[in-house]
């Protein structure tokens, strides 16, 4: 019986290993992105799955600061004054590792953080998506929090793509899915 139980446990672990994540559609409208100068950042904590996500305001603030410091974009407080609106969901999702220390007394500090970032840059007039971004998980830097990593990735990716767009090149950045230009 114990062998069967242990075998079942191993099979379940292997099954979990085979689960793959679906990638959402990727959008990069290079000419439109190159023309964006001002951005309004919406509340980034209201998309699907937001109830599991924390530190949304902190990440939003870091994105705002990063874009403003880039010198390429101005971050405006009124969507009417913006060329484009950044919308979506960012933050960190705590995950509890469940390795309680002693019976019944496991704590809520036993958790770690998964970065969350699914953003769309939308033309403020036509409401068409110009650019999308999905956070890529990976190796954490020892002195960088997960929230900082999420924000830095958004700013770095947007700056990279806008430079490519301004250079007239829409070549896909490495490790990104193929670009899909939105239909009019």
Partner 1 sequence: MVFEPTMRVMKYIPWSYGRTELVFRARGFIYAINPGFSQANFHVEAVHAFTPETLVHLRYFTVPDQLLGLSEERRSGTEQLQDERVTSHLGVIRLDHRLSEHWEVQLFGRAGIRRYNEPYQQRDTLLWTVGPHLIWHMTHHTRMVFGYHYERGLAEGRQQHEFEDDISYVHHFAAVSFETRLMEHLDLELDFHYERNNFTSGIPEDERNGGHENIYQGNGRLFYQLTDQMTLMMTVQRSNRRQNFLQTHDHNTNVSAGIIYRF
Positions in the binding site for partner 1 (CB under 8 A)? 1-3, 5-6, 8-10, 12-13, 16-17, 19, 51-52, 95-99, 101-102, 104-105, 107, 109-110, 112-115, 137-140, 142-146
At closest approach, how far in Å is the CB of 87 from partner 1?
22
Structure-token pair, residue 29: 């409208």
Sign of CA dihedral 56, 158, 120, 52: negative
CA distance 15 to 9: 10
Which CB atom, from 7 or from 173, has the smaller least distance to partner 1?
A: 7
Which CB atom, from 103 or from 174, has the smaller least distance to partner 1?
A: 103
At closest approach, how far in Å is the CB of 109 from partner 1?
5
At closest approach, how far in Å is the CB of 100 from partner 1?
10
CA distance 104 to 83: 54
Paired with 90 in beta bridges are 117
At closest approach, how far in Å is the CB of 28 from partner 1?
24
Which CB atom, from 88 or from 129, has the smaller least distance to partner 1?
A: 88
Q: Who's near 117: CB < 8 A, 6+ residues apart?
A: 59, 88, 89, 90, 133, 134, 135, 150, 153, 154
Q: Who's near 138: CB < 8 A, 6+ residues apart?
A: none
Which CB atom, from 5 or from 178, has the smaller least distance to partner 1?
A: 5
CA distance 7 to 4: 5
At closest approach, how far in Å is the CB of 71 from partner 1?
28
Which CB atom, from 45 or from 129, has the smaller least distance to partner 1?
A: 45
């Amino acid at each position: 019986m114990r062998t069967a139980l242990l075998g079942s446990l191993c099979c379940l672990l292997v099954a979990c290993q085979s689960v793959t994540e679906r990638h959402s559609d990727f959008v990069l409208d290079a000419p439109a992105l190159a023309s964006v100068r001002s951005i309004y950042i919406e509340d980034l904590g209201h998309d699907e799955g937001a109830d599991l996500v924390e530190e949304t305001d902190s990440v939003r603030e870091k994105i705002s600061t990063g874009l403003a410091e880039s010198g390429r974009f101005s971050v405006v407080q009124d969507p009417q004054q913006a060329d484009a609106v950044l919308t979506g969901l960012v933050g960190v999702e705590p995950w509890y590792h469940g390795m309680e220390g002693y019976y019944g007394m496991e704590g809520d500090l036993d958790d770690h953080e998964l970065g969350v970032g699914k953003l769309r840059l939308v033309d403020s007039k036509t409401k068409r998506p110009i650019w999308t971004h999905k956070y890529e998980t990976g190796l954490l830097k020892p002195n960088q929090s997960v929230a900082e990593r999420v924000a830095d990735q958004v700013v770095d990716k947007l700056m990279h793509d806008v430079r490519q767009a301004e250079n007239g090149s829409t070549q896909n950045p490495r490790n990104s899915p193929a670009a899909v230009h939105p239909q009019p």
